[in-house]
């Protein structure tokens, strides 16, 4: 097999014969192919369709290959897509410019399919490795949910969006009660197991588009876009109750299980000027209040 899976390739070339030849060769190699006759058309296609790799002709009327490349690399949604340039044999300067603009590689026309495929494989492999590293950098190693850095990025985006559209958003903070005792009494392995079970409850209790993260030792946060404070408190209360009934079996093979509880604080973005730090701080005040009132609760006052 030439490629390890069916990749979606966008071929951009103004010359119909070259476009058809590429499409034929790539389909024979097991790829899905979309063709565009110009840079303009390529950008329009990308606006509605995701692709795995782009083969881009340098010489085209209208938006040239280099200008198209520049636009691709300036767009946050497209800049990570690998691009292989198709150049004429005497275009060394263009090749240098293309590589400097962020093209992954180039092939000279008329191309040799074996060489083109090898370069595509390298570019695709590199992209996948980079993506895996990026995902790793965003993930909390223990629980597999978002880490603090990723939460800050995603929640900040959600907050700006909520402010633009004047829709309510709620920030909730969670702290496992007496977590230190779990570690002290049963060891860190058990502590880890409790953190993982708690993260799993968060995933189960909240919606797919809520942003869930572990932001510190036993501290978690959830950002709930398009949610009133009333509904957020209801969701948090449901989570609180499910955690109270959750049992985590001990690692030592005995039948013993332990239970935990969680304290929760919530804050709503009622004021347009609130940023992520303010919201987290307000939610934290609620959390401390929950702790002071005996833990295992969601304070229902408006913060
Ligand atoms: Mg051309």
SS3 188: helix
Confidence (pLDDT) at 177: 97
Structure tokens at 117: 């495929």
Cα angle: 185, vertex 189, 194; to 5 degrees: 80
Confidence (pLDDT) at 279: 93
Phi then psi for residue 106, to 5 deg, are -145, 155
If you measure from the C-alpha of residue 60 to the centroid of ligand 1, how many angstroms do you get, rounded to a whole number? 5
If you measure from the C-alpha of residue 61 to the centroid of ligand 1, how many angstroms do you get, rounded to a whole number? 8
Confidence (pLDDT) at 3: 94
If you measure from the C-alpha of residue 121 to the centroid of ligand 1, how many angstroms do you get, rounded to a whole number? 24
Cα–Cα distance between 178 and 295 in angstroms, integer? 9
Integer angstrom CA distances of residue 79 from 15, 68, 99, 127: 25, 12, 14, 11
Confidence (pLDDT) at 103: 96
If you measure from the C-alpha of residue 51 to the centroid of ligand 1, how many angstroms do you get, rounded to a whole number? 21
If you measure from the C-alpha of residue 127 to the centroid of ligand 1, how many angstroms do you get, rounded to a whole number? 26
Find out if CATH 3.50.50.60 is the number for domain 148-292. Answer: no
Q: Report the CATH number of the 8-133 domain.
A: 3.40.50.2300
Q: Please say whether the beta carbons of 65 and 41 come within 8 A.
A: no
Q: Which helix (H) or strand (E) holds 274?
A: none
- Residues of CATH 3.40.50.2300 domain(s) within the chain? 8-133
Cα–Cα distance between 252 and 190 in angstroms, integer? 10
Confidence (pLDDT) at 252: 76
If you measure from the C-alpha of residue 38 to the centroid of ligand 1, how many angstroms do you get, rounded to a whole number? 9
Q: Alpha carbon 94 to chain centroid distance? A: 34
| Spans of the chain, pLDDT less than 50 | 302-303
If you measure from the C-alpha of residue 159 to the centroid of ligand 1, how many angstroms do you get, rounded to a whole number? 44
Q: If 0-12 CB within 10 Å is exposed, 13-18 middle and 19+ buried, where does residue 206 land?
A: buried
234 Cβ neighbours under 8 A, 6+ residues apart = none
- Binning the chain into helix, strand and coil, the percentages to the nearest 5 are 50, 20, 35
Confidence (pLDDT) at 301: 62
If you measure from the C-alpha of residue 42 to the centroid of ligand 1, how many angstroms do you get, rounded to a whole number? 14
If you measure from the C-alpha of residue 55 to the centroid of ligand 1, how many angstroms do you get, rounded to a whole number? 12
Locus of tokens 């690692």: 251
Question: Alpha-carbon torsion 276, 278, 281, 285, what sign?
Answer: negative
If you measure from the C-alpha of residue 68 to the centroid of ligand 1, how many angstroms do you get, rounded to a whole number? 13
Confidence (pLDDT) at 273: 66
Q: What is the DSSP letter of 110?
A: S
Cα–Cα distance between 158 and 76 in angstroms, integer? 17
Confidence (pLDDT) at 156: 95
If you measure from the C-alpha of residue 233 to the centroid of ligand 1, how many angstroms do you get, rounded to a whole number? 59
If you measure from the C-alpha of residue 84 to the centroid of ligand 1, how many angstroms do you get, rounded to a whole number? 14
If you measure from the C-alpha of residue 65 to the centroid of ligand 1, how many angstroms do you get, rounded to a whole number? 8
If you measure from the C-alpha of residue 6 to the centroid of ligand 1, how many angstroms do you get, rounded to a whole number? 26
If you measure from the C-alpha of residue 57 to the centroid of ligand 1, how many angstroms do you get, rounded to a whole number? 6
Question: Alpha-carbon torsion 193, 199, 204, 205, what sign?
Answer: positive
- Residues of CATH 3.30.70.270 domain(s) within the chain? 148-292
If you measure from the C-alpha of residue 141 to the centroid of ligand 1, how many angstroms do you get, rounded to a whole number? 47
Q: Please say whether the beta carbons of 280 and 173 come within 8 A.
A: yes
Q: Please list the alpha-helical segments (H only) found in the chain.
A: 16-28, 39-48, 65-74, 92-101, 113-138, 148-165, 179-186, 188-205, 229-245, 276-292
Q: At what angle do helices 276-292 and 148-165 cross, to 10 degrees?
A: 110
What's this model's pTM, rounded to 2 decimal places?
A: 0.72
Find, among 6, 55, 56, 57, the residue nearest to 29 by Cα.
6
């Amino acid at each position: 097999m030439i490629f390890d899976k069916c990749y979606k390739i966008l071929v951009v070339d103004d010359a119909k014969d070259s476009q058809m030849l590429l499409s034929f060769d790539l389909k024979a190699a097991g790829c899905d192919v979309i063709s565009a006759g110009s840079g303009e058309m390529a950008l329009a296609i990308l606006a509605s369709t995701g692709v795995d790799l782009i083969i881009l002709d340098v010489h085209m009327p209208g938006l040239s290959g280099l200008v198209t490349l520049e636009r691709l690399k300036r767009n946050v949604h497209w800049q990570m897509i690998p691009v292989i340039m198709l150049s004429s044999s005497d275009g060394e300067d263009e090749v240098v410019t293309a590589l400097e603009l962020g093209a992954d590689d180039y092939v000279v026309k008329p191309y040799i399919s074996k060489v083109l495929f090898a370069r595509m494989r390298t570019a695709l492999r590199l992209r996948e490795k980079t993506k895996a590293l990026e995902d790793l950098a965003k993930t909390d190693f223990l629980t597999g949910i978002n880490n603090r850095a990723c939460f800050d990025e995603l929640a900040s985006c959600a907050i700006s969006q909520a402010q633009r559209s004047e829709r309510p958003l709620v920030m909730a903070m969670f702290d496992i009660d007496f977590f230190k005792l779990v570690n002290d009494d049963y060891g860190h392995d058990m502590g880890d197991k409790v953190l993982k079970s708690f993260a799993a409850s968060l995933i189960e209790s909240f919606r797919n588009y809520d942003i869930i993260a572990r932001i510190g030792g036993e501290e978690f946060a959830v950002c709930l876009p398009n949610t009133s404070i009333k509904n957020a408190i209801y969701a948090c209360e449901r989570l609180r109750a499910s955690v109270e009934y959750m049992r985590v079996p001990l690692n030592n093979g005995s039948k013993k299980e332990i239970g935990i509880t969680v304290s929760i604080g919530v804050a709503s973005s009622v004021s347009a000027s609130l940023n992520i730090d303010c919201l987290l701080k307000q939610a934290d005040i609620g959390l401390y209040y929950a702790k002071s009132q005996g833990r295992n609760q969601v304070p229902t006052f408006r913060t």
